[in-house]
A and B are shown apart, each in its own frame.
Chain A
Amino acid sequence: MSRKGRKGILGWIIPITNMERLLYSLHRITGIGLTLYLFIHIYETSMRALGRETWISTSEFLDNPVFHIGLLLVVLAAIFHGANGIRLILQELGLIAPKPTQPVYPYRKYHRERRVYIVTITMLILGIGVAIFALRDFLILLEVLGK
């Protein structure tokens, strides 16, 4: 394939032509972000093997509003990535596709779209529900930290 006309990584965000495209881009961006966090989290939790003092000093170092905001962003990214991932599994494995029918003129609008929208909206509602749990936890954390 020629390199001409290829936008590279910019192509993820330009142009956002429809909902599917937006979800595709966000899925990739959150996936990369979560992978970076995964490596940091593995390093952070490995401190446990170095003993009580190291664990406590690591926890104290991380116990600040900046870290908690970062953690909230990670949790929200994970919620989005998970909800959209389940939608993708259902969609791409054909689990929400209708039975194929003969294309008879005049063609009816392919109602696969309707099912895709229903699943997208359901996952969106579930995702927002879990995000509300996470936001409340975050506010409590900030309150505890402020005392």
Chain B
Amino acid sequence: MNGRIRLGIYFSGALLAVLVLIHLSLFSYWFVEGGYYTNMSWEAVSERMNSLLWDAFYLVFLTTVMAHSYIGIRNILFEYITSDGGRRLVTYALALIWISAYIYGLIPIIASAGG
């Protein structure tokens, strides 16, 4: 893993630690009355998705988690695929899968952006 990619996984990891805690606390009975069932309801989800602030949160969350997982999986595969051609293929194949999933994940955010 080269230096820039290593820093990328560290930075995205540190950011994710905060974002995941916020995401999990939304569904916790410790912080929200009714916990999981309250915030998984259609009304609560719609309310969040109609807020620009939450849209921005989910956009940053999705981007960070996709980047972090892409680097992590690519890094593991690179340990077993050592040829230049194989590594190039892995890089592009994973990028295709990850970008497709990223676009798919953006749909519910964009579909309701800011109400």
The interface of chain A, by Cβ under 8 A from chain B, is 1, 8, 28, 31-32, 34-35, 38-39, 42-43, 45-46, 48-49, 52, 55-56, 59, 75, 78, 82, 85-86, 89, 92-93, 130, 133-134, 136-137, 140-141, 144
Complex CA gap A142/B65 in Å reads 29
Of A35, A39, A93, A141, chain B has the most CB atoms within 10 Å of the CB of A35
Contact of B36 among A35, A38, A48, A141 (CB under 8 A): A141
**Any A CB within 8 A of the CB of B92:** no
Contact of A35 among B6, B42, B73, B108 (CB under 8 A): B73
Question: Which partner residue on chain B sits nearest A68 by CB separation?
Answer: B36
Cβ contacts A to B, 17 pairs, < 8 Å: A31-B73, A35-B72, A35-B73, A45-B105, A45-B108, A48-B45, A49-B111, A56-B42, A85-B17, A133-B30, A134-B28, A136-B29, A136-B30, A137-B28, A137-B29, A141-B35, A144-B37
Complex CA gap A136/B31 in Å reads 12
A56: chain B residues within 8 A (beta carbon): 42
Interface of A is mostly: helix
Nearest chain B CB to A73 CB, angstrom units: 14
A130: chain B residues within 8 A (beta carbon): 21
Complex CA gap A75/B24 in Å reads 8
Complex CA gap A8/B81 in Å reads 11
Interface of B is mostly: helix
- By the criterion of a CB under 8 Å from any partner CB, how many residues of chain B are at the interface? 37
| A48 and B49 contact, Cβ closer than 8 Å, known pairs A28-B76, A82-B20, A133-B30 | yes
B80: chain A residues within 8 A (beta carbon): 8
Complex CA gap A81/B36 in Å reads 22
Contact of A86 among B17, B24, B62, B66 (CB under 8 A): B17
Complex CA gap A136/B13 in Å reads 26
**Any A CB within 8 A of the CB of B78:** no
Cβ-defined contact, A137 with B27, below 8 A: yes
Complex CA gap A83/B37 in Å reads 27
